Structure 1
Amino acid sequence: MTQTLTATSTRRQQAHLKKPYYILGGLFLLLVLSSVISLGIGGVAISPLSNIEHFASYLGLSESTLELHQQLVIESIRLPRIVLGLVIGASLGLSGAVLQSLFRNPLADPGLIGVSSGAALAVVCIIVLGDTYFTAFLELTRSFALPVAAFAGSLLTTALIYHLSRRDGLTDVAMMVLMGIAVNAIVGSLIGLLTYLADDTELRSLTFWSMGSLAGAGQTAWPSIAIMVIASLFLLKLSSPLNLFLLGEAEAHHLGIPTERVKQQAAIAAACATGAAVAAAGMIGFIGLIAPHLSRLIGGADNRFVLPAAALIGANLIVIADTISRIIVLPAELPIGLVTSFIGGPFFFALLFREFKKRRM
């Protein structure tokens, strides 16, 4: 009898361990499906089967039935947008999952460590003051001026918050959160001042950049994509030590985790991933908050599952949001940041009510 119970328990544990991997496979298939559908939706409608046949023709498996203008739409416009959206969604989802585990705060997101606000301040400075004070920078960077400024601003702000949070060679995570809130408030006031000084043309540029868009997908986004891919791979390697961080920082240290190094690596990698995302597409909110929560709801709190699942969910959300933004106001395009806010706002309310009910019980 005992042996039978033991065998049954072992089978259940194995099934429980395999379940998250089935979920990851399902999320990956959903991502492929949403990408194929997104390729065919827009002002020029193309069936999913025609898209598959077109790309299979490069492998000699079939013949493409698409006309020349359809091929140009897919290869020059939609495919670069989808690739950029996949990488951005995965980067934001991963960064949010890592920071929530690091801070042990379910409401943490990449903006908490100053990435988004620092990038926004740098871009506002270039748009409003560039012709007066940053002419040499504009001449040097040319079409890369805004992405370079956004990435540099995000890293500098994150470095400042990280430095202010250190005491006696140690980084206080709680202090890092508070410093992030304070620095974000100061940066927000500077952005408001520069926005007040901007003219109508500069205000229009600022408004559209702050709403986010994947329309800039192309050669100028390649450096950002490379940074996001490298940073995301590094973030995935932090899954095991972050599992121990959930027990508490002191407990993780006693179990042999180099807590200071992990905190430093997590902050730098998350800042690079999110900063590159903001540099490539502007401000896209809520993905870093929603994706980790959805991954925990469907597969548990183990970061070995949560991190890759958050990456896949974030990529899915961005692809779906970009598809909606392209078709909802044809022939114009709605900024993707508005779509993610429409999705993220109700989800945030639902999350708060769920937590409130748990505490009352």
Structure 2
Amino acid sequence: MRRKAFLLGLALLLLSLVLMVLGASVGSTGFESVLRAAQDPVAAQIVGQIRLPRTLGAWLAGALLGLAGAVAQGLFRNPLADPFLLGSASGASLGVASAMALLGTTLGGTSSLAWLTRLGLTGAAFAGAVLAVLLTLQLARGVQHTLRLLLAGVIVGVVLGAAKDLITLAAPDIVPAMLGFNLGSAGFVGWSGCALMASLGLLCALAAWVCARALDGLSLGEATAASLGLPLARMRRVLVAVLALATGTAVAQTGLIAFVGLAAPHLVRSIVKTTHDRLLLLSAGMGGVLLMAADILARWLIAPQELPVGVLTAVLGGSYLLWLMHRRTRSGGGLA
């Protein structure tokens, strides 16, 4: 089991490096920019300031979503749990819609203050996601009851989603930008966004890894986990914080990207059966590879135009999960 987990981790690392090189080569000017980067300042700027941070940002956002998906599925003991279950997606959308309505600007602004606008929208998305999770925790009266927490997350998601729709109706000029946010894109990620995701991702991964024993115990049932002497209440609080922080950080940088956090842990479990200390890290790596590959495809399929990366992840991830459910149903097993 350890050997297979190590080999999978090594394979994901090598694949990430290959995709990073490929991501630096895909764009409207093709591979020529990479070849001319050493002599041409414009080509160097295209590769160094646009393609590389976008590709790395896609990997980091996917890693955060993959980690959050593994935490959510272990915490709720539900293989269909995804990182957005606590209402973070709706909260982020509400935050962005509110900021756009107040600022009167969009994601595609070209003014000298465009970077400041983008920073404000990123902060609004993160704040909305975190506030949505806090509201869910308040309604659920803590993290002790998993089912109550799940139901509160669904209710908060519906209510905040309706509030976002009301703001969109009141300010119809923000509809195109909101559509772009809801479909997801790594095109606006810069080096500062990569640094933020990397630092917070490392913190989330470390905290989740420390609490991996709680997820192993919960997989055996509440009573068994309690009998092992694990501090479940404290570890649940840490895991919910990891789930909120990882999801909010990724959504704030790339918008809403579906199925990465849901599919990544399933892909890992289909290759190797392992405990959560390895599953969490491997799911992060798998999520990074999935989103990076989807972003490259989104840039390449109809070049020089781009497809929204969230559309690709939804189509590919949804198709994979449907196939997995069909295969498990025919074999008499469940989706796990």
Q: Indicate whether the TM-score tops 0.5.
A: yes
| Whole-angstrom distance in 1 between the partners of 2:125 and 2:262 | 21
Shift in alpha-carbon separation, 1:225–1:184, aligned structure 2, 3 A: same
Q: 2:77 matched to 1:104?
A: yes
Moved over 6 A (4+): none
The amino acid of 2:15's aligned partner reads L
Q: 2:12 matched to 1:39?
A: no
Provide the residue aligned with 2:261 in structure 1: 288
Provide the residue aligned with 2:185 in structure 1: 213
| Whole-angstrom distance in 2 between the partners of 1:79 and 1:142 | 22
Q: Give unpaired runs (5+ residues) of structure 1.
A: 1-15, 55-63, 132-137
Q: Partner of 1:107: helix, strand, or coil?
A: coil
Q: 2:176 matched to 1:204?
A: yes
Contact 1:225–1:276 (CA under 8 A) maintained in structure 2:
no
Provide the residue aligned with 1:24 in structure 2: 9
Q: 2:165 matched to 1:192?
A: yes
> Please, what is the CA RMSD of the aligned residues?
2.6
Provide the residue aligned with 2:311 in structure 1: 338
Q: Partner of 1:20: helix, strand, or coil?
A: helix
Shift in alpha-carbon separation, 1:17–1:35, aligned structure 2, 3 A: same
The amino acid of 1:164's aligned partner reads L
Provide the residue aligned with 1:247 in structure 2: 220
**Cα-to-partner distance string for 1:215-248 (whole Å, 9 max, x where unaligned):** 1122552445433332233223322321111111
| Whole-angstrom distance in 1 between the partners of 2:268 and 2:333 | 24
Q: Partner of 2:297: helix, strand, or coil?
A: helix
Match of 1:147 among 111, 122, 133: 122
Shift in alpha-carbon separation, 1:359–1:185, aligned structure 2, 3 A: farther
Contact 2:88–2:157 (CA under 8 A) maintained in structure 1:
no
Shift in alpha-carbon separation, 1:360–1:87, aligned structure 2, 3 A: closer
| Mapping for residues 1-361 of structure 1, pairs under 5 Å | 16-46=1-31, 67-130=40-103, 142-166=117-141, 171-199=144-172, 201-218=173-190, 221=193, 222-359=195-332
Deviation for aligned residue 1:180: 1.1
Q: Partner of 1:112: helix, strand, or coil?
A: coil
Shift in alpha-carbon separation, 1:258–1:327, aligned structure 2, 3 A: same
| Whole-angstrom distance in 1 between the partners of 2:30 and 2:174 | 35
**Cα-to-partner distance string for 1:275-324 (whole Å, 9 max, x where unaligned):** 01111111111100000000000011421221111111111111111111
Q: Give unpaired runs (5+ residues) of structure 2.
A: 105-112
TM-score scaled by structure 2? 0.89
| Whole-angstrom distance in 2 between the partners of 1:43 and 1:213 | 17
| Whole-angstrom distance in 1 between the partners of 2:326 and 2:162 | 31
| Whole-angstrom distance in 2 between the partners of 1:102 and 1:290 | 16
Contact 1:95–1:235 (CA under 8 A) maintained in structure 2:
no
| Whole-angstrom distance in 1 between the partners of 2:45 and 2:124 | 31
Q: Partner of 1:110: helix, strand, or coil?
A: coil
The amino acid of 1:154's aligned partner reads A
Deviates more, 1:336-345 or 1:35-44: 35-44
Deviates more, 1:266-275 or 1:21-30: 21-30
Q: Partner of 2:21: helix, strand, or coil?
A: helix
| Whole-angstrom distance in 1 between the partners of 2:198 and 2:10 | 24
The amino acid of 1:35's aligned partner reads M
Deviation for aligned residue 1:47: 7.8
Q: Partner of 2:187: helix, strand, or coil?
A: coil
Q: Partner of 1:22: helix, strand, or coil?
A: helix
Deviates more, 1:345-354 or 1:74-83: 345-354
**Cα-to-partner distance string for 1:235-269 (whole Å, 9 max, x where unaligned):** 23322321111111221121011101111101111
Deviation for aligned residue 1:128: 2.4
Q: Partner of 1:320: helix, strand, or coil?
A: helix
Percent identity over the alignment? 32
Contact 2:53–2:191 (CA under 8 A) maintained in structure 1:
no
Q: Partner of 1:215: helix, strand, or coil?
A: coil
